[in-house]
Structure 1
Amino acid sequence: MEPLKELPMGFGMALFENEQAAHRFAEMRPEQKQKVLQQVHQVDSKAEMRALVHRLGGEEENG
């Protein structure tokens, strides 16, 4: 995985808290990572970031 310092802080922190999502992100091809990062830059809140990372990890959202 890219060093966390190269990722947006909120995204890196959310990945740190979600091992499955971090693993999936690490396994992505560079163009796939770029698409995810484009989505990350559109996130406006912690809740949205958490939801994005949960989807990345293949988890169902609760609520």
Structure 2
Amino acid sequence: MEPLRDLPLGFGMALFENERAAQNFEAMDHIAQQTVLQEARAVRSKNDMRALVRRIGGEADG
């Protein structure tokens, strides 16, 4: 994956705000990253994007 270039803008911004999620995303293998990116591209709201990133960071959603 090309660093940052392949990230949807909202996803990249949300990752920037959540260090643990960014570290977890970086540690994923290519296939897992692509799966997350597909999910991020389908997100249609800021709140849903933040929930996705919290999940990647291992945080409870709520």
Residue-pair matches, total: 62
Stretches of structure 2 that go unaligned for 5 or more consecutive residues are none
Are the equivalent residues in 2 in contact too, given 1:2–1:26 (CA < 8 A)?
Answer: no
The CA distance in 2 between the partners of 1:60 and 1:2, in whole Å, is 29
**Paired residues of 1:25 and 1:33 also in contact (CA < 8 A):** yes
* Aligned-pair Cα RMSD in Å: 1.5
Q: Which runs of 5+ in 1 are unaligned?
A: none
Query: Structure 2 CA distance, aligned partners of 1:4 and 1:18?
Result: 15
Note the C-alpha offset of 1:3. Answer: 2.5
* Offset, 1:2: 5.0
Residue 59 of structure 1 is matched in structure 2 by 59
The equivalent residue for 1:36 is 36
Q: How does 1:16-31 map to 2 (within 5 A)?
A: 16-31=16-31
Q: Per-residue CA shift, 1:10-32, capped at 9, x if unaligned?
A: 00000000000000000000000
Q: Distance in 1 between matches of 2:57 and 2:2?
A: 17
Q: Give the match's secondary structure for 1:41.
A: helix
